[in-house]
Structure 1
Amino acid sequence: MRSTPLARRLMASTLPVAFLIGTASGTAQADPMIARNMSSYGMPGGIDTPTAEVLPDGTLGATVSWSDYARRGNVTFQVLPRLTTVLRYSRVEGINDYRQDGYISDRSFDLRLQILDEQGWRPAIAVGFQDVLGTGIYSGEYIVATKNITPTIRASAGLGWGVLAGKPRTIDVGDEGGTLDADNWFSGSPKPFASVSWQVNERLSLVAEYSNDIYFTRYSSGREYQQGDEEPGSKVNLGAYYSFGRAYQAGLYTIGGDTIGAQLTVALNPREAPYPSGLEKAPAPVRPRPAPAADPEGWSGQWSQDPTAQPAIQTSLGDALDKEGQVLESMALSANRAEVRIDNRRYISQAEAVGRTARLMSRALPPSVETFVITSTAEGMPTSSVTLRRSDVERLENTEASQIASVAALTDAPLRAPGLVRSDEIYPRFQWSIKPYVDLGIFSAEDGLTHEVGAEARASYELMPGLIVTGALRQRAFGNMDQRGPGIPGQRGEHYTAEEYLADPSLETTPEGVPRVRSDSRMYRDNSSPTIPELTLAWYSKPTETVYTRVTGGLLERGYGGVSAEALWKPANSPLAFGAEISHVKKRDFDGLFDFRDYEVTMGHVSAYYEFSQGFAQGFTAQLDVGKYLAGDVGATVSLTREFANGWRIGAYATKTDMSAEEFGEGSFDKGIMLSIPIGWATGQPSRERASTTLRSLSRDGGAQLNVNGRLYDKIRDSHSVELYEGWGRFWR
C-alpha cells in the first residue's frame, strides 16, 4: 500500500524526533504533566508557543487575551488525561474583509495529544494541531517536549510548522471553512521554538519564549496583510502570570518586546465543586431491627393480615420520602417483601435517591420485611429495580458504597407488581416556576457575542402516570438579538429586514433551493410581546420491560409545532440502546404564538447509543443518529459526550448530510459543543436542574434537528446500570 504525503512527512520529521526523545528511558506511563500557565491561544503553554503540558482531566476553561495583533476568546476542554481541545473565536487586527473595519472575526479549533509524560530524564512529549478546522489564519502543527529542570523551572522546546515556523499558509478565499486540510499538515520546513517558565511562588510565574510567529496573512486572491501595526520587533516574548485560587489566572506579556498583551483565564474542574460535601441535609440513619424477643409480632409477620397496616405504613413512608424530595408513587407490601416505586425529584444521582430510600424503608417497615425492592420511575414509567436484603443495608451502612453495590441486584422493572397500591393524592399534580432566562450566541463572525435576557414562566400538569401537559411563557426584557431576516445572497454582511422577509415568501428558500429551517432564526427574536416557546401534551408508556415509548404533540419548540413519536429499547443492564423517532412538523409563525407558516416536513431518525464503562473511555457515551432532518436532507449525526460522577456533561457532535458544502454555506457542515452543568454542583444544594447550552458557530439549515423536550434516552438512563453505578459512591450520602 502506498503511503500518503502526510504519512511520509510524519515518518520523515515528526515521528523520528518523538522516537529519539521518547526512548531515552523506558515506556512506562506516569501521571500527565499539569500546566502552570495558559497561552494566548487557550492551550497550556508559554505566551504564543505550546508546551507538552495538560490540564487536570475534565477541566473546562476559558481564556480571553488582548494585544495589538488579536483579541482571542478560547474555550478549552481536557477531553481525556492526555487530549486537550480548544474552540476559539478571534478578532484578528489589520485584515480587511467586505466590511472594511480593519479587522476580521475568525473561528478555529485546536487539539493536542500528550503522547509521553515526563519520566526520569525523559521529557513529556506532545503533538498538536492548531487551527485544524478554521480558515487557516493560525494554521500550524508542532511536536514539543517539556521537562522540569528544577522544582520551579520548566523548559519546553519543539519544532513547528505553518505559523509556528513563521510561514503562514495561503488561505483559499473560496473555502467555506470547517473542513480538514490534511494535505498541508507538517508541510514545509519546520523551525524550532522554545519557552522557559519559572514558578516564583504559589501564585506568580514568569515566562520567556522564543517564537517565530510573524503575524502575517496571505490569501489565494493575492491579498496580503500584516496583522497588527507591524511585525514583532524580535522573536523573544516575556510574560508574568498571577493565579487567584485554583480557578483564576491573570497575565501580562510582551510580544517582540514592543507590544503589550493581557489575558484572563478561568478553569473549572468538575471534581472540585465549590461545596465538595454539599449542603444538603444529612439522611436519616438506618434503624436496626429489634431482637425477635423484643417484637415477636413484628417478626412473625402477623401484622400483614391487618388491612389497615399497609395504608398506614405507606402514608408514613410517603411523608418521609416527600421531605427527601421524592414521590412515593406506589407500594406493594407483604410480610417479607416490600417494593416501592419512587420518582426522584431532587438528587442528580439516582444512586443517592435509592440509598436514602433504603434508609427510610429500614425505619418504616416492620422487622419481618427482609427484601427491599426500590423501583425508579420516570414520567410514570418504571425504569429499573434495585433489590437489597435488609440485613445487608443494616450491616453495611458504615462501609464503602462498593460493598452495598456488590450485594445489590439491578433488574428491569416489571410492568406491574402483585399487590401494587398507588399512593393517595399523587395525581393529578401541578408544578410551576418563574425564572430568568439568558440566551447567548457566540462564535458568530458577523455578530460576535449576542444575548437576550428575560423571564420565563414554566408549568407542568400530570393528569395521570405518563400523561403530562407542559407549557412555557417568555417575556423578553433586553438584548442585542434584534429581529432580522437572513443574509442577502452575494452581499456579505447584508441582511433582509424583517419587513422584507415577511413580505416575500419566496425568500424562505435559499437560491440553492434549501428551505430556511434555521438560518432565519433571528426572525423569532426581539418580540416585545410574550411568546410561547413550548406548549405540549406528552404520553409516555412502557409496552414491555425493555421498550419505552413517547408521543408528544403541540408547540414542540420555538420554531416548530406538530407531533413527534419515539420508541427506545434499553435494558437496565445493557450499555447499548436503540431508538427511533418520527415527527411531522410545521413551521411556526415568527410572533411565537399559535399561527403557522406554510413549510412542513416529515422527518425522523434511528439511533444507537453506547455507554463506555471501562478503560480509557469510561464515562463516555457515543450516539449515532441516521435519518432525515428538518430541511429534508438525509445524513447522520455522531455525538460523543463525557459525563462525570457529579453530573457534569461535556460533549461534541458533527452532522454530515447529502447537502453539499456550497448549499450548506460557511462552515461546510453542522458541528458544535454541548455543555450541561448541574445547578447543585455550584450551589451545594441538591437539585436535578441543569444549566445546559450548545455552542455552535452558526445557525445553518443543513443537518438541523428538531428540539423536543423529554426525549427518552436521557429520561431512562439515570437509573440504568452504567449511569447508576457511576454514581454509586453517593448511595450512603
Structure 2
Amino acid sequence: MLGVGTQPATPQEAVWTRPTLNFMGVPGLLDMPTAHQMPDADLSLTLGGFQNTRRGTLHFQITPRLSGVFRYVELRDFSVQDPYYDRSFDLRYQLAEEGYYTPAVTVGLQDFGGTGIYSGEYVVATKTFGRLRATGGIGWGRFGSYNGFTNPLGILADGFKTRPEGETGIEQTGRVDTDQWFRGDAAFFGGLQYAVNDRFVLSAEYSSDAYEEEAARMGFEHNAPVNLGLSYRVRDNFDVSAAYLYGSTVAVNLSYTFNPKTPNSYPGGLDRAPRPVAVRAPGSAADLGWTRQADAETILRGDMESFLATDGMTLERFGADARTARVAVRTGTQTYPAQAVGRIARIMTQIMPASVERFEITLVTGTGLPVTTVTVNRSDLEDLEHAPDGAWKSFARARIEDAAATPVAGVVPETAFPKVDWSFGPYLTAAYFDPESPVRLSFGVQLNASYEPLPGLVFEGNLRQQLSENISGLPSSNSTLPHVRTDGALYAEAADLTVNTLTATKYFRPGENLFGRISAGYFEPMYGGVSGELLWKPVDSRLGLGLEVNYAQQREYAQGFGFRDYDIVTGHASAYLEGSNDFLYQVDAGRYLAGDWGATFGVDREFDNGISIGAFATFTDVSFDDFGEGSFDKGIRFNIPLSAITGQRSDISVSRTIRPVQRDGGARLEIGSRLYEQVRDYQQPELQGEWGRFWR
C-alpha cells in the first residue's frame, strides 16, 4: 500500500512485466527499438523471418542498463553467394529509467562490429500511460535512411553532417568504424503499443529504415513506412509475434527468454538432506579416554572416509588429537564448496569424540591441489544449526586460510591412491559461421581416462573415433599468417581414430598464495609440447596474477603421435579480478601461436548457480587486413552446469566458445588444466558469496 502523499515510480500496468522483442531481437516495437531494457540477466533468443530474410538474435541484459546483442542473418538473392550469411553485434545503454513524469531513454549502436549491412545508431525514449506505451526516437545510418534530414549534431561539428562511406561484406566484418557513428542524415521514428491484457500486445510504428540494400539487391518492396503487428505471450518466457511490414510483406517472430539467476524450479536443489549436527552431552568434552586407544585414529579415519563417500566426497588426508581433527577433502560432485564445508563439519560432529572441539577442513581440487583450510569450532556448529541467522554467524566465526600456510598433518588413507577414472560416450564439436554454412559439426565416440598415482600427479587423455563430420568441407585457408588454426578442415579430413589429448601434469604449491603446474604431452588436436604455469592468488583477495610459458609444436593432421615442422614458444602474463555484481575481468598479454604479440580482454558474468556468460576480444600487432575476415579475434562464451538446470548434483557442464570466425591471429594454445579456474572456487570471496548454503 502506498503511503500518504506518495506516488508510484511509474504509471505502468502490471501487464508490462518485460518488453516485447522486435524483429531485430531487441526490446522494441516491430522493426524499431524502444527504450526499456529487459530484466537484469535475461538471455533471449529470437528467431524471425519475412521475405527472403531470416534473423536469429541472442540478446543478453549484461547489467540493468547495459545489454549486448549478437545477430546472425540469412539473406536470399542478396549477393552472388546465395544464401548470404551476415553477422553483427549491438550494444544498448539506458541513459535514464522511466519515472512518473519522465520517459526511459536509451542509446544504441546496431551492427557496430559486423559487415555494416545493418549499421545504425539511435537515441530513443519510451513512456508508459497505463496500458499504452509511446515511443519516439531519432536515428542515423539505417535508422536515418527514410525521410532523413540534416544531422542536428552538425551544430557541434561539420563532420557530423556527412557519414563516411563504409565497405560492406566479408572484408568489413568485425571492424569498429567509430568515424561513422551518429554521422550523416538523421530521421525520426516512433510508435505505440497497447497491452490488451498481460499476454496480448498490439503495436503500430512509423519506421525510418528505407531498406535500401534489400530493395536494390533483393527486390524488397518498401511501399509504406508504417508497420502493424501483434505479440502473444504464450508463457512468461515465450512470445509469438506477427506483423505486416512496409505495406508489402508478412513477418513472424518467436522469442524465448531464460534468466540464469533462476534457471529451474528447484532453487534449493534436489540434493539429499545433510546429516544433522550431533550435539555433545554436557561435560562430555572433558573425556579423553579415547586418546589411549591405540587404533582410535585408524577407526576415526575409516569412518570419516565412509561417511564422506556416501555424500560424493573423497578423504585425502586425516589426523586427530585430543582437541583438533584435521581433514583434507576433495568435494567431488558437490557443486558448492561452502555447502561441502558445512556437510563435512556436520559429519565430523557425528564421528569425532566429544573432546575434539576444533575442525580444520582443507579443500582440495580435483587435481590434488590443497587450496584453502576452513577452521570451525564444534561448539559454534551446535549453537548455530537452527539459529535464524546461523549462516552469517557461522561465516563470521569461521577462519579461512591458505592451505599452504597450514599444511595438513595426518595420514593418507590406503585406499586414496592411486586414483583411476574412465568414461566412454559420444562427443560433438562444432565450427560456427562459415560463410557457406552456419554450423559445421564433427560427431563420434570417445574414451576418457585418468590415472593419479600420487597427489597432484595426473596422467590423462582421450581417444576419439570420428563417425561423421562436415568440417572438412571448409574452404582452404587464405591466411597470410602461419596456419596455426585455419587448417582445421585438414585435421577433420584426416581424422579417424585419434589421440585427442594425452598429457602428464604435476600440480604443486611452491609457497603461500602460490600455485604451480607443469604439463607435457598432446594438449589438443592441433598442438603438443610442454607448458608451465605459476599463479599468485591470496586466499582472501579478489585479484590473481599468473604467468604461463609454453613450447608448442603443431601435430600431424591425422592426430596420432607425430608432429609437423612448425613450433613456437608462446606465453602470457595474466591478471584476474573478481568485480562487483558477479563480474570477472581477465587480461592475458603475451605471444600467440602465430608469433604475434598482443592482449586478450575478457569479461564474464557469473551467477551463484555456476552459469556464466561472457565475451572476449584479442588485439595483436597483426593488422586487420592481414588478419582477414573478422579483423580481430572475438567471441562470446558460456558455461552451464547441468546441476543448474536439473537441480540434481552433477559435475557435468556444457561449455562453448562461439566466434564469428576463427583465424590465425590471436590464437592461443588450448590447455584444459589452467590453475585459476581450479583454485578460485575454494577461496574466501567465492566461499563468502555462497555461504548461505553452509547449512544445506
Q: TM-score, normalised by structure 1?
A: 0.87
One-letter amino acid of the structure 1 residue matched with residue 587 of structure 2 = L
Aligned counterparts, 1:116-265, within 5 A: 116-150=96-130, 152-166=131-145, 170-172=165-167, 176-217=172-213, 226=216, 228-265=218-255
For residues 212-267 of structure 1, give each alpha carbon's deviation from its aligned partner in whole angstroms, at most 9, with x where no partner exists: 212113xxxxxx96254323221111222223333322222221132111122222
Does residue 79 of the first structure (1) align with residue 62 of the second (2)?
Answer: yes
Does residue 649 of the first structure (1) align with residue 612 of the second (2)?
Answer: yes
Which one is further off, 528-537 or 705-714?
528-537
Give the distance between the partners of 1:265 and 1:527, measured in 2 at CA.
Answer: 40
**1:214–1:231: 8 Å Cα contact kept in structure 2?**
no
**1:443–1:697: 8 Å Cα contact kept in structure 2?**
yes
Give the C-alpha shift of residue 330 in structure 1: 0.7
Give the distance between the partners of 1:463 and 1:610, measured in 2 at CA.
Answer: 34
In structure 2, relative to structure 1, the CA distance for the partners of 1:84 and 1:173 (3 Å cut) is closer
In structure 2, relative to structure 1, the CA distance for the partners of 1:694 and 1:418 (3 Å cut) is closer
Give the distance between the partners of 1:370 and 1:272, measured in 2 at CA.
Answer: 39
| Aligned with 1:407 (options 382, 387, 397) | 397
Does residue 448 of the first structure (1) align with residue 438 of the second (2)?
Answer: yes
| Aligned with 1:42 (options 25, 44, 59) | 25
In structure 2, relative to structure 1, the CA distance for the partners of 1:209 and 1:481 (3 Å cut) is same
Give the C-alpha shift of residue 155 in structure 1: 2.2
Aligned counterparts, 1:296-445, within 5 A: 296=284, 299-378=286-365, 379-398=367-386, 399-400=388-389, 401-414=391-404, 417=407, 419-445=409-435
Secondary structure at the aligned position of 1:278 is classed as coil
Give the distance between the partners of 2:261 and 2:276, measured in 1 at CA.
Answer: 27
| Aligned with 1:108 (options 88, 92, 103) | 88
**1:252–1:263: 8 Å Cα contact kept in structure 2?**
yes
**1:34–1:53: 8 Å Cα contact kept in structure 2?**
no
**1:521–1:699: 8 Å Cα contact kept in structure 2?**
no
**2:305–2:314: 8 Å Cα contact kept in structure 1?**
yes
Give the C-alpha shift of residue 305 in structure 1: 3.1
In structure 2, relative to structure 1, the CA distance for the partners of 1:244 and 1:314 (3 Å cut) is farther
Give the distance between the partners of 1:438 and 1:263, measured in 2 at CA.
Answer: 29
**1:142–1:158: 8 Å Cα contact kept in structure 2?**
yes
Give the distance between the partners of 1:529 and 1:418, measured in 2 at CA.
Answer: 47
**1:588–1:597: 8 Å Cα contact kept in structure 2?**
yes
One-letter amino acid of the structure 2 residue matched with residue 284 of structure 1 = R
Which residue in 2 is equivalent to 1:554?
A: 521
Secondary structure at the aligned position of 2:341 is classed as helix
Which residue in 2 is equivalent to 1:638?
A: 601
Structure 2: any 5+ residue segments left out of the alignment?
1-5, 149-162
Give the distance between the partners of 2:229 and 2:133, measured in 1 at CA.
Answer: 14
**2:444–2:468: 8 Å Cα contact kept in structure 1?**
yes
Which one is further off, 409-418 or 597-606?
409-418
Which residue in 2 is equivalent to 1:22?
A: none
Secondary structure at the aligned position of 2:71 is classed as strand
One-letter amino acid of the structure 1 residue matched with residue 90 of structure 2 = D
**1:122–1:147: 8 Å Cα contact kept in structure 2?**
yes
Counting matched residue pairs gives 667
Give the distance between the partners of 1:347 and 1:116, measured in 2 at CA.
Answer: 42
Give the C-alpha shift of residue 443 in structure 1: 2.9
Give the C-alpha shift of residue 625 in structure 1: 0.8
**1:549–1:568: 8 Å Cα contact kept in structure 2?**
yes
In structure 2, relative to structure 1, the CA distance for the partners of 1:689 and 1:30 (3 Å cut) is farther
In structure 2, relative to structure 1, the CA distance for the partners of 1:478 and 1:119 (3 Å cut) is same
Which one is further off, 225-234 or 207-216?
225-234
Q: TM-score, normalised by structure 2?
A: 0.92
**2:319–2:410: 8 Å Cα contact kept in structure 1?**
yes
One-letter amino acid of the structure 1 residue matched with residue 95 of structure 2 = I
Give the distance between the partners of 1:358 and 1:240, measured in 2 at CA.
Answer: 57
For residues 600-624 of structure 1, give each alpha carbon's deviation from its aligned partner in whole angstroms, at most 9, with x where no partner exists: 1111111111111xxxx42111111
Secondary structure at the aligned position of 1:680 is classed as helix
Give the distance between the partners of 2:89 and 2:523, measured in 1 at CA.
Answer: 33
Which one is further off, 448-457 or 702-711?
448-457
Which residue in 2 is equivalent to 1:599?
A: 566
Give the distance between the partners of 1:476 and 1:29, measured in 2 at CA.
Answer: 58
Which residue in 1 is equivalent to 2:3?
A: none
| Aligned with 1:571 (options 527, 532, 538) | 538
Give the distance between the partners of 2:286 and 2:235, measured in 1 at CA.
Answer: 57
Which residue in 1 is equivalent to 2:156?
A: none
Give the C-alpha shift of residue 94 in structure 1: 4.0
**1:93–1:227: 8 Å Cα contact kept in structure 2?**
no
One-letter amino acid of the structure 2 residue matched with residue 154 of structure 1 = R
Give the distance between the partners of 1:523 and 1:549, measured in 2 at CA.
Answer: 35
For residues 486-518 of structure 1, give each alpha carbon's deviation from its aligned partner in whole angstroms, at most 9, with x where no partner exists: 24x5xxxxxxxxxxxxxxxxxxxx4x3x21000
Give the C-alpha shift of residue 482 in structure 1: 2.6
**1:485–1:520: 8 Å Cα contact kept in structure 2?**
no
One-letter amino acid of the structure 2 residue matched with residue 134 of structure 1 = G
Secondary structure at the aligned position of 1:393 is classed as helix
Give the C-alpha shift of residue 641 in structure 1: 1.2
Aligned counterparts, 1:8-27, within 5 A: none
Which residue in 1 is equivalent to 2:157?
A: none
In structure 2, relative to structure 1, the CA distance for the partners of 1:621 and 1:66 (3 Å cut) is same
One-letter amino acid of the structure 1 residue matched with residue 441 of structure 2 = H
One-letter amino acid of the structure 1 residue matched with residue 331 of structure 2 = N
Which residue in 2 is equivalent to 1:710?
A: 673
Which residue in 2 is equivalent to 1:496?
A: none
Q: Which runs of 4+ in 1 moved over 6 A?
A: 28-33
**1:556–1:707: 8 Å Cα contact kept in structure 2?**
yes
Give the C-alpha shift of residue 195 in structure 1: 2.6
One-letter amino acid of the structure 2 residue matched with residue 203 of structure 1 = R
Which residue in 2 is equivalent to 1:58?
A: 41
Does residue 627 of the first structure (1) align with residue 618 of the second (2)?
Answer: no
One-letter amino acid of the structure 2 residue matched with residue 472 of structure 1 = N
**2:11–2:128: 8 Å Cα contact kept in structure 1?**
no
Which residue in 2 is equivalent to 1:11?
A: none
Does residue 670 of the first structure (1) align with residue 661 of the second (2)?
Answer: no
Give the distance between the partners of 2:10 and 2:673, measured in 1 at CA.
Answer: 43
